[in-house]
Amino acid sequence: MLLRHTPDNLVERGALTINPAKTCQPIGAMYAALGVHGCLPHSHGSQGCCAYHRSTLTRHYKEPISAGTSSFTEGASVFGGQANLLQAIDNIFTVYEPEVIAVHTTCLSETIGDDLPQILDKADKDGKIPKGKHVIYANTPSYVGSHVTGFSNMVKGMARVAVSTGHKNGKVNIIPGWVEPADMEEIKRLAAMVGVDIIMFPDTSGVLNGPLSGEYKMFPEGGVTIKQLREAGDSIGTLALGEWCSADGARFLDTTLKVPCRVLDMPFGLRATDRFVDALRIVAGRSVPEEVAHERGQLVDMISDMHQYFYHKKVALAGDPDQLIAMTEFLTSIDMWPTHIVSGTPGKAFEARIRELTAGLPYAVNVKCDQTADMFLLHQWIKNDPVDLLMGNTYLKHIARDEDIPLVRWGFPILDRVGHQYFPTVGYKGGLRLLEKILSALLDRKDRDDQEHAFELVL
Amino acid sequence: MTPAMFNNDTTMTAAEIKEELLKKYPPKVARKRAKQIMINEALENETPEITANVRTIPGIITMRGCTYAGCKGVIMGPTRDIVNITHGPIGCGFYSWLTRRNQTDAYAPDAANYMTYCFSTDMQDKDIIFGGEKKLEAAIQEAYDLFHPKGICVFATCPVGLIGDDIHAVAAKMKAKFGDCNVFAFSCEGYKGVSQSAGHHIANNQVFKHLVGLDDQGKPGKYRINLLGEYNIGGDGFEIDRILNKCGVTNIATFSGNSTYDQFASSHTADLNAVMCHRSINYVADMLETKYGIPWVKVNFIGANAAAKSLRKIASYFGDQELIDRVEEVIAEEMPAVRAVAEEVRPRTEGKTAMLFVGGSRAHHYQELFKELGMKTISAGYEFAHRDDYEGRQVIPELKVDADSRNIEELEVSPDERLFRPRKSQEELRALESSGLKFKDYDGLIPDMERGAVVIDDLNQYEAEKLVELLKPDIFCAGIKEKFSIQKLGVPMKQLHSYDSGGPYAGFRGAINFYREIDRLVNSRVWGYLKAPWQENPELSATYVWE
């Protein structure tokens, strides 16, 4: 047993987190920043944070992740990190020549109280930011929220670039939230199908799913440009996908530049995708073409064809709130039973939303989203009430093996499988893929477990 | 200095390469980096020595990690029966959760193994404002109540040092309270020191202070050693243990691969310390000698020839003909399989070139394996080494202690009144030395590298990319962060911190694994697919006429 010390009996813990279902803010800020064209993320703190974040993102995407660090030693921790950051900005623009540097803080620089706007202002006045180049920033103390919060904060940092000329440009902003590069591509494809001209930020497609060609580009073609981010202030509206990841940036544009926003669920599964497409249509005043309805129908078709294999199957999930909400809705909508759900990312609305989505089920879902909502707790719940399927990141594989439960890898980070960079799980096409993954896991299991006399060729 | 050193058609001299690497830097950065780039045994060097273990330049994309990573991740991570609690916000604990591929074998199903768990106090903003000691105390209590481990270790992250939580006092209080659980802490905040190296030091010191010497019952055996600086990445430690067992040598404790609480506690009962990674642990070997009287020798189990040489070294120390013969038997038994694979692979690897930027010690050790494949290491350097790892131990007395090293505790060690026992008399030691066995000796990387090779300390992403472009090695070895930017350039990249996948690469079976892995990497067909036919031949000379 890999998790041989996890007992069945639940004990209340107040201080010790075991096998967390979250990580810290800066990695989210780093991921978001990679979705800006020509941007080098920069971690303002000691260099270990940056090394860890780059390593984890590299392992997840199997792509180079470049980022700078202020490399604090004890001196900077005592006297403040201004000198380090000024030097870093100078070195970065000289050596790597990015268009943009996206600075985020760490728990170290936050605790000593480094004032990013002040330091960046000084960098500008000292001429360390070359003409035509940009520095954006986000405050991302690791002791608040989670990686999701960090992502959201950097998205807000991008929204701060927007300006309003007073003339609407007819475009729609889409903030896709923490989804994969392939998902961002899929969202762009859907919007193009509906005929909506969009500005999407961040956009990691083309950045973190690049080709192997014998050439290394530190700054690939993809990513939202600073010009586009500026124009986002003239858009007719913003669709923010995911309350936790995207709403802050959208509301900022709404309150400061009067770009109205709608906060939607992430388009995982049938119903959330329906609402997304519908919102796109309405905000841009377009009609939805037949191709989109066709794709939708294919998903409905697969749900009906294979319903017998997932009907009332119990699922345990761990991950981030925006994804979990949409996934819970998808699972219940196809008559699966989400049973245990944990997210380390705090937010009171999460539990309420899950309760609302699962209200029609004949049992009360186990759901928790605070500091002690970790994978240790999830495992204990599973021991007490076993499930048919696990969904979440790679760190669930120990539970999967110990309890002999099939695992569908989905979320962040996935360190031991590939595909998430290239194949979307959002939209109707993504729904088909999700369903295929779920079915393959359940049916592989059935093929393994069925007795010989009941082993069937046709399923 | 002949350009032929680098082959692969480059006509550049090492001095030109160095100049090229420095060209783009602002002057101050260039001056600093110039001292960390050395042309081996060449007169072009501006300084007679290499500069190492100095601060990373802010903004320069570094390969280095931090002190916490060295302490919790590297040294304490591979010990299975200690509950390691990271005191801090969640990130540090999360990122050091099973990411180093340390393997462990907990033998019995009910034996303690906490390596699959990640423990953290997950500090929140109120803990930063009001202090985190209470939460830490409660977390230790909860861990104790849930698991009743032999030991609980606490690791400080950056903010903990800043807000002044006294983690050592909390640990001592809980240790006294439990009575049957050893609790101790590490002030390994990420900002201390300039790299992981400081963290190794902090970890080793605490293990030495709080754990070594607690249990006088070592394992039985005629020839008893400790293996220092072996972390069982990809099962390296398993293979070395297999070989030692086969020779009849007992490994009391590995610091710290596949290790346990009891191994550390009884390590003072060994009669010889064999040091693998000089960087991470040479000072522990010194302390074990001073306090308990155990001499140490440097060994290297990476590479079949190196492993054989190290086994002979250990045997000659014990001096028994029985062991000396047994070691020769084992080498004779193991080598044919190794040679067979080497001979099979060598036609495909001979003459190829490698670059290694990894470790403390790995950038040195792995050159042995490449040599066995007929491959040449044209450039190498360490991520977190000190000058002695490059130039040899004779430079240690002249190393300057700077501000960043001064805050790392140096233990004052004296002979233990009860436990000090010289393993060999002065006479015996002298006799062994005159027969060629060198104690406390390490010549460093530089003497083993070819004249004119480029030795670079703390290589960064920009220089890595430039080096690869200029010298086009057949393989590049570093860590996960470097892997894909190198591969985008069309050069295979092997991780040597955690090996990507695969292993073990130590010992005889490890050598076979490595030969096959390098053969696979440098001869993979994929590197021939980088350009599509229409990219290789873009001009349209004629068009088809479709029928």
- The pLDDT value recorded for residue A346 is 93
Whether residues A238 and A321 fall in one domain? no
Confidence (pLDDT) at B42: 86
Question: Quick check: A66 pLDDT over 90?
Answer: yes
Interface test with B, best of A107, A209, A380 (most B CBs within 10 A): A107
Q: CB contact, 8 Å: A82 with chain B?
A: no
Please state the domain count of chain A: 3
Asked if residue A234 belongs to a domain, the reply is yes
Query: Domain check: are B142 and B285 in the same one?
Result: no
User: Letter for the amino acid at A297?
Assistant: G
Q: How far apart are CA A291 and CA A301, in angstroms?
A: 15
Regarding beta strands B353-357 and B475-478, do their DSSP bridges make them parallel or antiparallel, or are they unpaired?
parallel
Q: What ipTM, to 2 d.p.? A: 0.97
Return d(Cα A71, Cα A91) in angstroms, integer. Answer: 13
Instruction: Give B93-139 pLDDT, tens digit per residue.
Output: 999 999 999 999 998 888 999 999 999 999 999 999 999 999 999 99
Q: Which of A11, A19, A62 sits opposite B484 (nearest CB)?
A: A62
| A148: amino acid identity, one letter | V
Q: Are residues B143 and B229 in the same domain?
A: no
d(CA A341, CA A374): 10
Overall average pLDDT of the A24-52 stretch: 98
In this structure, the answer to whether residues A342 and A373 fall within a common structural domain is: yes
Residue B1 pLDDT greater than 70, yes or no: no
- E strand residue ranges, A3-126: 17-18, 39-44, 68-69, 100-105
Q: Do A95 and B24 touch (CB under 8 A)?
A: yes
Position B105 scores a pLDDT of 95
User: Which of these three, A239, A270, A288, is where a domain ends?
Assistant: A288
CATH number of the domain that residue B227 is part of: 3.40.50.1980
How many Å is the Cα radius of gyration of chain B? 25
Q: Is the pLDDT of residue B547 over 60?
A: no
Chain A residue nearest residue B88, CA to CA:
A143
How many helices (H) and strands (E) would you count in chain A?
A: 17, 14
Contacts of B119 in chain A (CB under 8 A): 16-18
Range of the domain at A30: 25-159
User: Look-up: residue for tokens 């070294």?
Assistant: B313
Residues B184 and B228 in one domain: no
Look at residues A208, A280, A260 and name the one whose alpha carbon lies nearest to residue A57.
A208
> Does the annotation mark B312 as catalytic?
no
Write down the pLDDT at residue B545.
66
Closest Cα to residue B477, out of B456, B449, B499, B458? B499
Q: Is A2 on the interface with B (CB under 8 A)?
A: yes
pLDDT greater than 60 at residue B11:
yes
Q: What pLDDT digit, counting tens, does each position of B138-157 carry? A: 999 999 999 999 999 999 99
Q: Angle at CA A98, nearest 5°, toward A92 and A101?
A: 70
First to last CA, chain B: 62
Average pLDDT over residues A132-145: 98
Catalytic residue among B14, B34, B52, B69: B69
Q: Do B227 and B328 lie in a common domain?
A: yes
**What pLDDT sits at residue B2?**
45
Question: Within this chain, do residues A323 and A404 fall inside the same structural domain, yes or no?
Answer: yes
pLDDT digits (tens, 9 = 90+) for A354-381: 999 999 999 999 999 988 899 999 999 9
Same domain, B167 and B272: no
Residue B441, in any domain of the structure: no
Residues B390, B444 contacting (CB under 8 angstroms): yes
Interface-testing mutation among B57, B80, B87, B90, with chain A (most A C-beta atoms within 10 A): B90
Tokens of B500: 């990507």
Q: What average pLDDT does range B284-301 have in this prediction?
A: 98
Size of chain A in residues: 459
Strands of B37-39's sheet in order across: B37-39, B454-456, B376-381, B353-357, B475-478, B493-495
Q: End-to-end distance of chain A based on CA atoms, in angstroms?
A: 32
Is residue B235 domain-shared with residue B334, that is, in the same domain? Answer: yes
Contact list, A70 vs chain B (CB under 8 Å): 58-59
* Residue closest to A392 by CA, chosen among A338, A347, A439: A338
Give the domain-ending residue among A241, A268, A288: A288
Partners of residue A416 in chain B, C-beta under 8 Å = none
φ and ψ at residue B228, rounded to 5 degrees:
-105, 140
B249 and B140 part of one domain: no
Q: Please provide residue A238's backbone torsions phi and psi, each rounded to the nearest 5 degrees.
A: -125, 130
Taking CB atoms and an 8 Å limit, are A73 and B91 in contact across chains? no
For residue B98, the enclosing domain spans 67-193
Residues A300, A434 within the same domain: yes
Helix (H, G, I), strand (E, B) or coil at A315: strand
Same domain, B239 and B158: no
Distance (Å, whole) CA B460 – CA B478 = 11
Beta bridge pairs of residue B224: B250
Q: What is the C-alpha R_g of chain A?
A: 23
Same domain assignment for residues B285 and B427: yes
| CB proximity under 8 Å: B 185-244 to A | 189-194
Alpha helices in B392-541 (DSSP H): 403-406, 426-434, 461-471, 480-488, 507-522, 533-536
Closest CA to A55 of B23, B143, B64, B220: B64
The CATH number that applies at residue A131 is 3.40.50.1980
B534: CB partners within 8 A, 6+ apart: none
Q: Do A16 and B142 touch (CB under 8 A)?
A: yes
- Do A142 and A200 reside in the same domain of the chain? no
Mean pLDDT of all residues in A16-44: 98
Beta pairing partners, A102: A41, A136
Say if residues A176 and A200 touch (Cβ distance below 8 Å): yes
Residues A325 and A431 in one domain: yes
In a mutational test of the B interface, the residue from A1, A5, A379 whose CB has the highest number of chain B CBs within 10 Å is A5
B172 is an active site residue: no
Answer yes or no: is B210 within a domain: no
CB A423 within 8 A of CB A436: no
Same domain, B233 and B160: no
CB contact under 8 A, B191 and A62: no
Tell me the C-alpha distance between B259 and A297, whole Å: 57
The tally of CA atoms less than 13 A away on the side-chain side of residue B171 is 23
Summarised one tens digit per residue, pLDDT across range A153-185 is: 999 999 999 999 999 999 999 999 999 999 999
Residue A225 and residue A80 in one domain: no
Q: In terms of domains, do A446 and A311 share one?
A: yes
Instruction: Give, for A432, the enclosing helix (H) or strand (E).
Output: helix A427-449
Displacement of CA B344 from its chain's centroid (Å): 30
Asked if the model's pLDDT at residue B218 lies above 90, the reply is: no
In contact, B125 and B111? CB cutoff 8 Å = no
CA A166 to chain centre: 32
Backbone angles phi, psi at B255, to 5 degrees: -100, 100
Asked about B69 being catalytic, the answer comes back as: yes
Tell me what pLDDT residue B3 has: 46
Residue A360 lies in a domain: yes
Q: What is the largest CA-CA distance in chain B?
A: 97
Judge whether B288 lies within some domain.
yes
**Same domain for B77 and B153:** yes
Average pLDDT over residues A262-289: 97
Residues 227-246 of A with CB under 8 A from B: none
> Is B200 an active-site residue?
yes
What is the token pair recorded at B415? 């002979």
Q: Is B9 or A232 the better-scoring residue by pLDDT?
A: A232
Beta strands in B105-263 (DSSP E): 119-120, 151-156, 182-186, 223-230, 249-256
A399 interfaces chain B, CB cutoff of 8 Å: no
A160: closest CA of chain B, how far (Å): 24
- Cβ-defined contacts of B464-469 (< 8 Å, 24+): B464/B63, B464/B357, B465/A216, B465/B489, B466/B20, B466/B21, B467/B17, B467/B21, B467/B355, B467/B379, B468/B355
Query: Of these residues, B30, B100, B158, B348, which one is catalytic?
Result: B100
- The set of residues, in sequence order, having a beta carbon less than 8 Å from that of A96 and lying 6+ positions away, is A40, A66, A68, A218, B61, B462
Mutate: best of A18, A104, A395, A397, partner B, most B CBs <10 A? A18
Q: Output the pTM of the full model.
A: 0.97
β-sheet bridge partners, residue A392: A409
The verdict on A95 touching B (C-beta cutoff 8 Å) is yes
With 50 as the cut, is the pLDDT of residue B376 above it?
yes
Same domain, B325 and B430: yes
Instruction: For residues A184 and A238, state if they share a domain.
Output: yes
Exposure string of A142-173, with b = 16+ CB inside 10 Å and e = fewer, is: bbbbbbbbbbbbbbbbbbebbebeeeeeebbb
Comparing CB atoms, the residue among B29, B91, B485 nearest residue A49 is B91
| Closest of A200, A198, A192, A199 to residue A288, by C-alpha | A192
> How many interchain CB pairs under 8 A, A with B?
265
* Count of the separate structural domains present in chain B: 2
Write the DSSP symbol of residue A206: T
**Is residue A401 domain-shared with residue A354, that is, in the same domain?**
yes
pLDDT single digits (tens) B515-546: 999 999 999 999 999 999 999 887 776 666 66
User: What's the angle, vertex CA B23, arms to CA B20 and CA B25, rounded to 5?
Assistant: 135
Torsion angle, alpha carbons of B339, B344, B345, B347, to 10:
110
Q: How far apart are the CA of A327 and the nearest CA of chain B, in angstroms? A: 24
Q: What pLDDT score does B6 carry?
A: 74
**Mean pLDDT for chain B overall:** 95
